């Protein structure tokens, strides 16, 4: 099985592999540079980009003769936009090397001292300041007057954004104090978190697209052809460096930054000067903890040798100064404040706690919410009652650590008890549903508390309807989540309201009986869209049994279970009569668990259900409980009366795939994912959604990612789509 070069450790690469990998990394990093610097729209988190850069540099270190002439390690910034005039920097705007942990910083200090031939115990003062997540800008002043402003560009040549920079309040048109005749002030253009949130609110109210994060928004705002657009954006500027200076007013880094403040620039109050590495690192970790409370986004702390004379002696390495380094924060971790805990009610009645957070950028995305899983997780215990997070509970007002990986929902990983408010109290998980006021109960062995309101609970009703019309269920075109919410929100006296699935299939009839309040006359609809919706609903009156069972939204009954039940019972009547019989035979809801178990064991109908491959006691309980509830059953029966239900296709029990578990991944080109699963089921296979050690075969299309990697790790046979069809035809 072929292994990707990216998966081979650098030390294990041979020269041919290394050359190919360097070519691939150069192309990938170049694309990311253009997305970040030129388009202001990065496509990967900073952590992913940093790991690619580290791999590239590690290969170059091991194979120096293979280093490309246009290596990413020699580049600064991205391609220049053709929209702007160009300005050549008198002094190059270089980038910084990165440190990713405390030991990297200690190594940095040791390297400096070795280069300067200083004893290891000698004092070498360094400055430390937050690394602002914004866009670098150079401002040239002559005789105190702003002459031009330029972006970093490729480090040698930048884009002329003078007219735009003049609209930023933090950029003085004329310097104060007694500045040198010529001074180029450098710093970062950024947008505060509050201003970013307000801008997004305004965009949303205007029906316009919202922005992803403050950094991209600030960069895009500065690089507008129309300065009035820049002027309308709340941009700010921190000064922290300089380029060409006719007469240096100080001989230290910290002294120069103080001078910049005297000239009228905003400088960062968290900048400090430190004489030991341990004090420097303590400052770093203090800033990391305070990161969420800052008004602006940062992604690390920058350290610089304070003595400018020593900076000159140290000089530069390739594209970076030897005397400075950026200590990056972990890309997918951040500390922030827990503002509130909200409870959301799902279609099965589950009460799910959601953390509302002080907005913080994690992995390139602004995070405002995080999952809290369940009441045990909040209390600091697992499902077995054992401590997690060293037993620390989570409370409103806490400083919490948030983590995020890829597209995974953000989670709370830790709590800083030293910053817990003195008046905080343990969170009391609700015992009544916040949506309908019904009792919320937690069954034995269940980690989730659930609302008992059923269809009287509006949260459950709307979520059940959304599930009912979802792609894997009835898949009614033109009736998505927003339309479901609209129809459900209509008052009871509105002829077009939808409360249950049955109402969907009477919508056209009720609309036809109306004179004035027809759907075509309502906002968001018209003659064509209304007619299309009615046609789409009519088309779905005929539905496969498996889809119908899944669409009912019964707890524990997903696509695979729905298909298993449909294959076993074949008809709706057979399915429902067996469930009804099992429910009558298991009237043991009122007896103790031990007696109930005995009753169920003696029930032929119950045994039939749980003996279906893939079906267990929990599914059987969910089926009997749902179909025994009077209101729920009445709703289902009313629906069934309006449908034509198709029996599943017969299984080819003698096929080569019978009994095997198959996973489809990537972009399938000859069939949809649903068609692929249906084909596998027809051949007697089980179509799973994830790869495990029990998977027998992976069918991978273009773009296959983590599932392909996992299959390779397990040694699972992997084929492409063409091979799948060849085997099906020969089966």
Catalytic residues: 131
356 CB-side CA count, 13 A: 7
Strands 686-688 and 661-665, sheet pairing: parallel
**Roughly what angle, to the nearest 10 degrees, separates helices 630-640 and 617-628?**
80
Q: Which residues pair with 242 in a beta bridge?
A: 185
Contacts of 37 (CB under 8 A, 6+ apart): 77, 78, 79, 152
* Pair 297, 215: CB distance under 8 Å: yes
Nearest to 685 by CA among 659, 718, 650, 704: 659
Farthest-apart Cα atoms in the chain, separation:
97
Nearest to 706 by CA among 411, 407, 409: 407
Query: Token match 């202001």: residue?
Result: 40
Q: In what order do the strands lie in the sheet with 135-142?
A: 145-151, 135-142, 182-190, 236-245
Helices (H), 593-705: 593-601, 604-610, 617-628, 630-640, 673-682
Q: How far is CA 268 from CA 240, 296, 334, in A?
A: 8, 11, 20
Query: Token match 């970062």: residue?
Result: 188
* DSSP, residue by residue, 321-349: ETTEEEEEPPTTEEEEEEEEEEEEE-TT-
* Pair 351, 128: CB distance under 8 Å: no
DSSP state of 648: P
* Pair 472, 367: CB distance under 8 Å: no
User: What tokens does 363 get?
Assistant: 């992995």
Strands 542-544 and 644-646, sheet pairing: parallel
Nearest to 412 by CA among 399, 423, 425: 399
* DSSP, residue by residue, 375-390: HHHHHTB-TTS-BSGG
**Burial classification of residue 612, based on how many CB atoms lie within 10 Å of its CB (0-12 exposed, 13-18 middle, 19 or more buried):** middle
User: What tokens does 711 get?
Assistant: 């299959």
Q: How far is CA 453 from CA 262, 435, 488, in A?
A: 66, 9, 17
Nearest to 354 by CA among 337, 367, 345, 341: 341
User: What tokens does 284 get?
Assistant: 């770093």
* Pair 416, 289: CB distance under 8 Å: yes
DSSP state of 181: S
For 353, the enclosing helix (H) or strand (E) is strand 351-362
User: What tokens does 196 get?
Assistant: 């970013």
Listed as own residue / partner, the contacts of 620-627 with beta carbons closer than 8 Å and 24 or more positions apart are 620/582, 622/554, 622/555, 622/556, 622/557, 623/554, 623/557, 623/579, 623/582, 624/579, 624/582, 624/583, 624/586, 626/552, 626/554, 626/555, 627/576, 627/579, 627/580, 627/583
Helices (H), 190-330: 193-205, 214-222, 227-231, 253-262, 277-290, 308-314
Listed as own residue / partner, the contacts of 267-272 with beta carbons closer than 8 Å and 24 or more positions apart are 267/238, 267/239, 267/240, 268/129, 268/130, 268/132, 268/238, 268/240, 270/129, 270/130, 271/127, 271/128, 271/129, 271/130, 271/240, 272/127, 272/128, 272/129
For 242, the enclosing helix (H) or strand (E) is strand 236-245
């Amino acid at each position: 099985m072929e292994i990707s070069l990216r998966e081979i450790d650098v030390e294990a690469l041979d020269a041919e592999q290394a050359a190919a990998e360097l070519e691939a990394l150069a192309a990938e990093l170049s694309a990311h540079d253009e997305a970040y610097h030129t388009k202001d729209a990065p496509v990967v988190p900073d952590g992913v980009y940093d790991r690619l850069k580290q791999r590239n540099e590690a290969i170059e270190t091991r194979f120096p003769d293979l280093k490309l002439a246009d290596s990413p390690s020699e580049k600064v910034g991205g391609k220049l936009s053709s929209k702007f005039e160009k300005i050549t920097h008198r002094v190059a705007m270089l980038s910084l090397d990165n440190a990713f942990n405390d030991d990297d910083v200690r190594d940095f200090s040791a390297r400096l001292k070795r280069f300067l031939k200083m004893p290891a115990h000698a004092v070498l003062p360094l400055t430390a300041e937050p690394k602002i997540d914004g866009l670098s800008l150079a401002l040239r002043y002559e005789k105190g007057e702003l002459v031009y402003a330029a972006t970093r560009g490729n480090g040698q040549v930048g884009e002329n954004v003078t007219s735009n920079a003049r609209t930023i309040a933090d950029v003085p048109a004329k310097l104060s104090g007694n500045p040198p005749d010529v001074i180029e002030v450098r710093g970062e253009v950024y947008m505060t978190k509050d201003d970013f949130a307000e801008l997004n609110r305004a965009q949303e109210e205007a029906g316009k697209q919202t922005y992803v994060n403050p950094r991209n928004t600030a960069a895009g705002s500065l690089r507008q052809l129309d300065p009035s657009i820049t002027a309308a954006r709340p941009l700010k500027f921190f000064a922290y460096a300089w380029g060409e200076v006719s007469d240096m007013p100080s001989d230290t880094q910290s002294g120069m930054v103080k001078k910049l403040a005297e000239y009228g620039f905003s400088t960062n109050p968290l900048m400090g000067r430190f004489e030991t590495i341990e004090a420097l690192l303590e400052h770093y970790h203090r800033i990391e903890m305070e990161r969420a409370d800052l008004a602006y986004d940062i992604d690390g702390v920058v350290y610089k040798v304070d003595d400018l004379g020593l900076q000159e002696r140290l000089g530069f390495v390739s594209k970076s100064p030897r005397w400075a380094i950026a200590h990056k924060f972990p890309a997918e971790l951040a500390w922030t404040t827990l503002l509130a805990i909200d409870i959301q009610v799902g279609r099965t009645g589950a009460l799910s706690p959601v953390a509302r957070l002080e907005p913080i950028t994690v992995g390139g995305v602004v995070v405002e919410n995080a999952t809290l899983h369940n009441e045990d997780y909040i209390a600091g215990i697992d499902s077995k009652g054992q401590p997690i997070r060293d037993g620390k509970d989570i409370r409103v007002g806490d400083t919490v650590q948030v983590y995020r990986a890829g597209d995974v929902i953000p989670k709370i990983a830790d709590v800083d008890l030293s910053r817990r408010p003195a008046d905080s109290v343990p969170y009391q998980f609700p015992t009544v549903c916040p949506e309908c006021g019904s009792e919320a109960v937690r069954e034995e062995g269940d980690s989730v508390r659930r609302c008992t309101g059923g269809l009287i609970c509006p949260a459950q009703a709307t979520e059940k309807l959304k599930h009912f019309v979802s792609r894997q269920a009835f898949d009614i075109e033109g009736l998505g989540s927003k339309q479901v919410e609209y129809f459900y929100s209509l008052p009871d006296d509105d002829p077009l309201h939808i409360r249950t699935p049955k109402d969907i299939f009477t919508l056209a009839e009720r609309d036809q009986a109306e004179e004035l309040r027809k759907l075509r006359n309502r906002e968001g609809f018209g003659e064509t869209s209304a007619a299309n919706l009615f046609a789409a609903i009519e088309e779905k009156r005929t539905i496969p049994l498996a889809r119908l069972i899944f669409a009912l939204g019964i707890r524990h009954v997903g696509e695979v279970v729905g298909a298993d039940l449909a294959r076993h019972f074949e008809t709706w009547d057979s399915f429902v009569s067996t469930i009804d019989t099992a429910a009558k035979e298991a009237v043991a809801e009122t007896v103790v668990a031990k007696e109930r178990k005995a009753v169920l064991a003696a029930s032929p109908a119950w045994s039939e259900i749980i003996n279906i491959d893939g079906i267990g006691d929990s599914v059987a309980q969910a089926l009997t409980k749902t179909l025994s509830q009077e209101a729920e059953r009445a709703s289902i029966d009313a629906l069934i009366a309006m449908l034509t239900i198709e029996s599943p296709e017969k299984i080819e029990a003698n096929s080569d795939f019978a009994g095997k578990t198959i996973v489809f991944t990537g972009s399938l080109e000859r069939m949809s994912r649903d068609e692929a699963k249906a084909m596998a089921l027809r051949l007697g296979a089980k179509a799973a959604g994830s790869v495990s050690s029990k998977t027998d075969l992976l069918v991978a299309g273009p773009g296959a990612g983590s599932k392909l990697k996992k299959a390779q790790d397990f040694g699972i046979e992997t084929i492409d789509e063409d091979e799948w069809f060849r085997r099906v035809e020969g089966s």
